[in-house]
Amino acid sequence: MTNKADLALMNWAYKKSREFARRFASYRGEHTPKHPTFGQGSEALATDQAGPVPVEAEDIHYTEDDNKAVEKYTREFVATAWHAIGTCAMKRRGEGGVVDSKLNVYGTQGLKVADLSICPGNVCANTYSTALVVGEKAALIIAEELAIQNI
């Protein structure tokens, strides 16, 4: 959460998902321990309200203090549930890349990376399938460099 844009997106997602949930016909209140700590009297204070609000109801108004509470909550409780990819991205070095198109780590000799960390961005697919493709391509690259013919 060091990138302000990421933090802003997570704070927005908290608020928007809360608004969606409040409008579901099956809504039966909030599990208050799983929300930011808002000040007493705040409109944003989580409640165990019995039923949904009308679809056309106004969104909860968040004060500056409420926004700080959401940010604190986001920083303390939000964690990734995804498999991290792209930490050693295959890009040009000047663009922040770590490996070249032959999987060589820039600035080293004899070191390759052949896992999902080479993806330059989100693959928008199952990571298992993508990992298989990366591994197969790595095998071909390494075989070529070792002059192995029968692969």
- Enumerate the active-site residues: 83
Chain centre to alpha carbon of residue 65 = 26
C-alpha to C-alpha distance for 90 and 106, rounded to whole angstroms:
10
Q: Which amino acid is at 12?
A: W
- Specify the 3-state DSSP secondary structure of 59: coil
> Partners of 112 in the beta sheet?
104
98/137 Cα distance (integer angstroms): 18
What DSSP designation does 94 have? G
- Spatial separation of the C-alpha atoms in residues 112 and 130, rounded to whole Å: 18
